Amino acid sequence: MKNVLIVGGGFAGVWSAASAAKLRQERGLVEEELRVTVISAGDDLVIRPRLYEADPDRMRVPLDRVLGPIGVRRVAGTVTDIDTGARMVTAIRRDGTTSKLGYDRLVLASGSQVVRPGLPGAEHLFDIDTLAGAATLDAHLRRLPERAAEPGQFTAVVVGAGFTGLEIATELVARLKDLAPTDQVRVVLVERQDAIGPELGEGPRPAIQKALAELDVEVRLGVSVEEVAPDKVRLSDGTAVPAATVVWTAGMTASPLTSFIPGDKDRLGRLDVDEYLRVRGLRDVYAAGDTAAAVSPAEGRVVMQSCQHALPQGRFAGHNAAADLLGEELVRFETAPYSTCLSLGPAGAVVTSGWDRDVQMTGHAAKELKHAINEQWIYPPVDDPAELLNQAGPKAEVAGAQAS
Ligand SMILES: Cc1cc2nc3c(=O)[nH]c(=O)nc-3n(C[C@H](O)[C@H](O)[C@H](O)COP(=O)(O)OP(=O)(O)OC[C@H]3O[C@@H](n4cnc5c(N)ncnc54)[C@H](O)[C@@H]3O)c2cc1C
Kindly give the distance from the C-alpha atom of residue 65 to the centroid of ligand 1, in angstroms, as a whole number: 19
Which are the contacts of 81, defined by CB distance < 8 A and separation ≥ 6?
89, 90, 260
pLDDT in tens, 85-130: 999 999 999 999 999 999 999 999 999 999 999 999 999 999 999 9
Regarding whether 121 and 244 lie in a shared domain, the answer is: yes
The boundaries of the domain holding residue 396 are 2-113+252-339+379-403
Examine the fold and report which residue of 248, 282, 304 is the final residue of a domain before the chain moves on. 248
| Eight-state DSSP code of residue 115 | -
The DSSP element (H or E) to which 307 belongs, if any, is helix 307-325
Please state the domain count of the chain. Answer: 2
Q: Which atom of ligand 1 is nearest to the CA of 114?
A: 53
Q: What is the mean pLDDT of residues 252-258?
A: 98
Q: What average pLDDT does the structure give for the chain? A: 96
Q: Are 155 and 121 in contact (CB under 8 A)?
A: no
pLDDT in tens, 347-366: 999 999 999 999 999 999 99
Strand partners, 245: 156
| Helix 393-403 and helix 11-26, axial crossing angle in degrees, nearest 10 | 120
Regarding whether 205 and 135 lie in a shared domain, the answer is: yes
| Eight-state DSSP code of residue 183 | G
| Eight-state DSSP code of residue 336 | P
Identify the pLDDT of residue 122: 98
Regarding whether 394 and 303 lie in a shared domain, the answer is: yes
Q: What is the mean pLDDT of residues 207-211?
A: 97
Regarding whether 271 and 187 lie in a shared domain, the answer is: no
Nearest CA to ligand 1 atom 8: 49
Examine the fold and report which residue of 207, 224, 248 is the final residue of a domain before the chain moves on. 248
Residues with CB under 6 A from ligand 1: 7-13, 39-42, 48-49, 51-52, 78-79, 109-112, 128-129, 164, 255, 257, 289-290, 305-308, 310
Identify the pLDDT of residue 399: 64
Q: How far is CA 256 from CA 180, 206, 260, in A?
A: 40, 36, 8
Q: What is the mean pLDDT of residues 144-150?
A: 95
Kindly give the distance from the C-alpha atom of residue 339 to the centroid of ligand 1, in angstroms, as a whole number: 18
The three-state (H, E, C) secondary structure of 377-389, written as one string: HCCCCCCCHHHHH
Which of 5, 7, 46, 48 has most ligand 1 atoms within 8 Å of its beta carbon, as the pocket-test mutant?
48
Identify the pLDDT of residue 396: 79
Regarding whether 233 and 86 lie in a shared domain, the answer is: no
Residue 90 lies in a domain: yes
Residue 362 lies in a domain: no
Task: Find the CATH number of the domain harbouring 181.
Answer: 3.50.50.60
Given a cut of 80, whether residue 403 has pLDDT beyond it is no
Q: What is the mean pLDDT of residues 322-351?
A: 97
pLDDT band at 297 (very low <50, low <70, confident <90, very high): very high
CA-based radius of gyration for the chain: 22
Q: What whole-number distance in Å separates Cα of residue 246 and Cα of residue 155? A: 9
Regarding whether 239 and 149 lie in a shared domain, the answer is: yes
Q: Which atom of ligand 1 is nearest to the CA of 112?
A: 30
Nearest CA to ligand 1 atom 15: 306
Q: Which atom of ligand 1 is nearest to the CA of 290?
A: 26
